[in-house]
Every structure is written in structure tokens, then in C-alpha cells.
Structure 1
Amino acid sequence: MASVQIREAKEEDCGDILRLIRELAEYEKLSDQVKISEEALRADGFGENPLYHCLVAETPPAPGQLPGPRLVGYGLYYFIYSTWKGRSVYLEDIYVMPEYQGQGIGSKIIKKVAEVALEAGCTQFRLMVLDWNKRAVDLYKVLGAHDLTEAEGWHAFCFEGQAMKALAGR
């Protein structure tokens, strides 16, 4: 396995982060839902009050690749608040390029998010996964996560677009 470094994303990584976001959406068969731009990623993650934080997995170039490190995965997270548990972290996305999967990179990203959460005084960190992604479900369980849908029957909901406008009376 190539040497992999997990580090905080920098503003100049936004192009690669967007590339990885698009790859993840394609894998999840949801490419048509990606509306974010590189500019929005920059503005929302690297301004005075960032709305998200991002870790990237960086490898040195393989033989025949362009010089310089390559981003092969990412974990995008933000802080949330639980009225029952207090400070929490939500891992919105975690993705590792297929040719780098199975090398422990995803686990390293998850472990780093857990470190960040503990350093910030968080009591939990949450994430969601599509029900058909058995490989990810199995990994999260091996790492110690419990499935809230199985254990407590929670369902995730989302208001967007017209539904959100209607709620706001617009």
C-alpha cells in the first residue's frame, strides 16, 4: 500500500474534492443530484465561518502518474447538536476511489473524524449510508457503530425545493 496521509483539506483542494464528490454520486447512482460548484465549496468551507470541514486522503504519485501528491479520498463533516447528547459530529460523505479501497484509507478517515469529535468535546458522531451498500454497513459495524434504523427504528427525512418553499410560505 502506498503511503497515505490524512490531512485537513486546503482551499486549493476544492477542485479535487468536487471530483471525488462526483465520483461518489456516480457510485451511489445519484449523479443528477450534484449541484454544488467548486466556488461554493470554497466559500462554504474556507471562509470566516466554515459550514463544513473536510479531511482528504493523499498519496504520493504512482509510477507513470504526474508528479505531486494525489487526493484519493475524502471525509466531509460538520458539527451538529443533539438535544439528548450535546455536541456531535455528522460525517456527510466518506469516499475512497475504487482502486484505493481495501487498504484501510476509509477507516483512517473515520478514525480521524472520531479524534476531531473527541477533541471538540463531542459525545457522538453520526453518518448515514444507503441500505444497499453492504460493504460500508459492515465496515461501520466492525468499527463499533450501531445501526439506528435497526436498533431504534429512526428514519431520515429531507425537505427541499418546493416543499421547503411551501413550508416557508414562499
Structure 2
Amino acid sequence: MVFVQIREAKEGDCGHIMRLIRELAEFEKLSDQVKIREEDLRADGFGENPFYHCLVAESLPGPGESQGPCVVGYGLYYFIYSTWKGRNVYLEAEGWHSFRFEGEVMRKLAGK
């Protein structure tokens, strides 16, 4: 059985997030469109004034299993302001829909 936890991304997760970005781009046959680098993710999300925030879905080993945790999805979000609607949040949640985590992700974001 696979156990999954959703947590705030850490700077050390940027390599895993980049891997998931590339996997999706390759699946969509759009690999040439990915211009961002792991270094950009680090600088833009984990500095003093981050441009984005991120949650990760991490699979955890079940009882008796030996493999370690693995990042299996991410939800990258940032806050925006609409002159028509006021405060908003924009969420990119790649990899989550296949695990049906949308509700849990939204509950985490609602706590922000």
C-alpha cells in the first residue's frame, strides 16, 4: 500500500520538481518549451521574497518496505490580485490529479 503526505516544498525538492516538469513536458511532446532550470526554481521560490510557493506530494514507504520517500507530484501556487475579483491564488498542480489529491491540496491552501 502507498502512503502519501502533502507538505510544503523545501529547497532540496527542486530537483524532484524539475524532474516532474520535464516528465510532463516529454509526455506532452513539448520538451523544447521548458526553459526553466532547477537553479531558477531555487532562486525564485526560496529566497527572501519568493515569486511562488509549492506543496509536494510525497509517497512514503509502507510497513516493512525499504525504499525511502519519493516526490510524486507538486502544486506550485502564487498569489495574484484581480482588479475585478480581488485576491486570488493561481495553482499549477501537476501529477496530483492521477492520485486524486485535489481536495487535500485545496484544504492545505485554504489554511494559508
TM-score, normalising length from structure 2?
0.84
The alpha-carbon deviation at position 60 of structure 1 amounts to: 1.1
The alpha-carbon deviation at position 107 of structure 1 amounts to: 4.0
Residue by residue over 1:87-111, the C-alpha shift from the partner in whole angstroms, topping out at 9 and shown as x without a partner, is 11011x21117xx92x323443344
**Quick check: 1:95–1:106 contact (8 Å CA) kept in 2?**
no
Q: Judging changes above 3 Å, is the alpha-carbon distance between structure 1 residues 25 and 48 closer, same or farther for their aligned structure 2 residues?
A: same
Distance 1:19 1:62 in 2: 24
The alpha-carbon deviation at position 68 of structure 1 amounts to: 1.9
**Quick check: 1:45–1:53 contact (8 Å CA) kept in 2?**
yes
Distance 1:109 1:25 in 2: 22
1:78 aligns with 78
What amino acid does structure 2 have at the position aligned with 1:96? G
Q: Name the SS of the counterpart of 2:48 in structure 1.
A: coil
Distance 2:104 2:18 in 1: 21
1:5 aligns with 5
Q: Name the SS of the counterpart of 1:59 in structure 2.
A: strand
Q: Name the SS of the counterpart of 2:35 in structure 1.
A: coil
1:96 aligns with 95
Structure of higher CA gyration radius: 1
Distance 1:26 1:107 in 2: 27
The alpha-carbon deviation at position 62 of structure 1 amounts to: 6.8
Q: Judging changes above 3 Å, is the alpha-carbon distance between structure 1 residues 43 and 85 closer, same or farther for their aligned structure 2 residues?
A: same
TM-score, normalising length from structure 1?
0.58
Distance 1:12 1:22 in 2: 17
The alpha-carbon deviation at position 67 of structure 1 amounts to: 3.0
**Quick check: 2:4–2:58 contact (8 Å CA) kept in 1?**
yes
Distance 2:3 2:80 in 1: 32
Q: Which runs of 5+ in 2 are unaligned?
A: none
Identical positions, percent:
66
**Quick check: 1:44–1:52 contact (8 Å CA) kept in 2?**
yes
Q: What root-mean-square deviation, in Å, do the aligned CA atoms of Structure 1 and Structure 2 show? A: 2.4
Q: Which has the higher relative contact order, 1 or 2, with Cα contacts under 8 A spaced 6 or more apart?
A: 2
What amino acid does structure 2 have at the position aligned with 1:23? E
